[in-house]
Structure 1
Amino acid sequence: MTFMDQATSPLYIQIADELRRSMEESIYQIGDQLPTEAELSVRFGVNRHTLRRAIEVLRQEGLVRVDRGRGMFVAAVPISYTLGKRVRYNEALKAHGLQVSHQTLRTIEILADSSIAKRLELEIGDPVVLFERLSLADEQPISIGSSYFPSQRFLGLLERCQECHSVSKLLQAYGCDHIRRSTRISARSVQPRDARLLALPLTAPILLTESINVDQQGRVIEYGVTRFRGDRMELVIKNDLS
């Protein structure tokens, strides 16, 4: 079918408008792969240069992502997660109207290496509980979180991790509030294991956060490392950290 230029706007804008309407009408849904450039060029009766300009409009709007070697996909609107004083990840996602779920990946006790010991203010070789889980929003993977806790502070934590996926609620069972002391944010290339779990190509970027969290007395209770899908999440820092 030839795409007819019946409007005054440039042809590539008309094509972008048509594809946008198809997304709004759920002809193409979040995560769907769009037809190839060649197929869309034939559909609209234009050359690839014009088609690529239309796709670039949608990419700039955040509606389409282009994965090198894989194709073009309908992108989801980024989920805003505010980094405030209190750590409330699940509540933040639910506030967006999302159905939140988790899959436990690992719950094991390990010995603290120099890096983990420093962040948890422990001695090297002290026992530490690692609780790792995959988080999903509306059944789509969005992050992998690895939480490290001092074992001697939280007796029986390994068993409790099997029953509770919310770290804040897990800590509340021990009478601890879950307060953010600091968070370091960086952009990284996704690692192969994380790429598989997050359904990402190996060329995709992720947002990585490293957080030190304390209880109401200021004692370190968790060192958290979270890998967020860069195309699904945006992190917002509140100045008042409340």
Structure 2
Amino acid sequence: MAAGDSSHFLDLLKMAGKGNEPQERGQARVRRFQASALNGRMICVPGGMRTPSVSAAMRNSLRGHCELRMTAVGTASKIRGAGRLMEPQWFRVYQAVKTAILVGELQAGSKVPPEFDLSEEYGVSRNTVRRAYLALSQEGLIRSVNGRGSFVMQRGMTYEVDATSRFRDVLDRQGVHSAVRLLESEYTEADEEIARILKVEPGHPLLRATDLILGDEVPFILTVRHIRADLIEDLEQKLKEANSLTLVARREGLGQLRRVSTTVEARLPTEREASLLQSPINAPVLLVYSAGGVDNGILLECQRAVMNSQRIRLSFQSEAR
């Protein structure tokens, strides 16, 4: 998003909102601004004011007729464009940055302008810009890294699911640093449902582990895993050290951990899930239920993965026969 384009857009909005219009016989004066796109230039009538070379995204944002009505004391009360009330300041900043991302002016991985720069450019407070960035983050468009700023997120990362695939490998192949954050772990016993899935008796000893899978500190997947504790001695500690059940199974001589079943459904997230995944509460998440076994045919684990559907696409691969 070119800085010049944003400033031209801002100049129009600032002029529209300055007010201090004198009263005229107790009636509010009405000034009309007509914006049109002509050969890459925005022309605002009246006043002969011209702003050259705005981007296509900005031209689309201003295309059409906007009627600015002034109150008796000269403050702008509403902008009518397609019958809409004037949008909040944070929403205008949000919409401008979102448009720049969607049309490719801001590429995935690039840094978005600092809060201070946008607050100066748009004539708003840093809290207003921060509110716009929060909305963009909740939509999965940007991510904030403490001490580094905010960056455009890669959207629609494809996870090709097969018997041995891991989402962390997908992240690593695309140059995104992957990590697993262990949120909770405790030894427990299998209830009837888990026992049925793992083909053990109810009450069988298990380790329940809740993990958050991240890429460049951005949460992608929240998993709850039930792992047979009788097959690996001191499982909880070994899992904490290795951060990978696949690696632990291999080290313990159980062989390759393979996915043997997968079921996918969708629903709205719980408040906790939305918070941990930094996902909008009204945006569906993917629920992926799976079971994994080792080389001797024993089922080692079953898990429920809650995936941010705005950041992950699933693609299922069939093994060659």
Q: What TM-score do you get using the length of structure 2 for normalisation? A: 0.57
**Native 8 Å contact 2:277 2:308 kept in 1:** yes
In the alignment, which residue of structure 2 is the partner of 1:161? 239
Return the match for 2:249 from 171, 178, 195: 171
> Does the 8 Å CA contact 1:81/1:93 hold for their aligned counterparts?
no
The match for 1:23 is 106
| Cα distance between partner residues in 2 of 1:21 and 1:82 | 25
1-structure distance, mates of 2:190, 2:320: 29
Q: How has the CA–CA distance of structure 1 residues 219 and 77 changed in structure 2, closer, same or farther, with 3 Å as cutoff?
A: same
1:209 maps onto 2:241 in alignment: no
Q: Is the CA contact 2:292–2:300 (under 8 Å) kept in the aligned structure 1?
A: yes
Instruction: Report what 2:77 is aligned to.
Output: none
Give how far 1:14 is off.
9.0
Shift of 1:239: 2.4
Deviations 1:90-117 (A, max 9, x none): 2222111111112111111111111111
Identity %: 21
- Could you tell me how far 1:241 is from its partner in structure 2? 6.7
Partner of 2:269: 190
Q: What residue is the counterpart of 1:95 in the other structure?
A: 173
Give the structure 2 partner of residue 6 of structure 1. Answer: 38
Structure 2 stretches of 5 or more lacking a match?
A: 1-10, 13-34, 41-55, 64-95, 123-134, 143-152
Structure 2 SS opposite 1:5:
strand
The one-letter amino acid of 1:156's match is D
The aligned length equals 209
C-alpha separation in 1, matches of 2:175 and 2:211: 21
Deviations 1:148-184 (A, max 9, x none): 1111122210111221212211221222211111100
Q: Spell out, residue by residue over 1:184-225, the C-alpha distance to the aligned partner (whole angstroms, 9 max, x if none).
A: 011121112111111122212111111111111221111011
Q: Which residue of 2 aligns with 1:42?
A: none
- For residue 73 of structure 1, report the CA deviation from its aligned partner: 4.9
Q: Name which structure has the greater RCO, CA cutoff 8 Å, separation 6+.
A: 1
Q: Assess, with a 3 A threshold, how the Cα gap between structure 1 residues 72 and 230 changes in structure 2: closer, same or farther.
A: closer
Letter paired with 1:233:
I
Q: Compute the displacement of 1:4 (Å).
A: 6.0
Partners of 2:162 and 2:211 in 1: CA distance? 21
Map 1:212-231 onto structure 2 (within 5 A): 212-231=291-310
Secondary structure, counterpart of 2:106 in structure 1:
helix
Tell me, yes or no, if the aligned pair for 1:88 and 1:168 is still in contact at 8 Å: no
The one-letter amino acid paired with 1:209 is V
Separation in 2, partners of 1:200, 1:14: 30
Distance 1:241 1:155, change over 3 A: farther
Q: How far is the alpha carbon of 1:22 from its aligned partner?
A: 4.0
Q: Could you tell me which residue of structure 1 aligns to residue 5 of structure 2?
A: none
CA drift of 1:27 comes to 6.5
Where does structure 1 lack aligned partners over 5 or more consecutive residues? 40-66
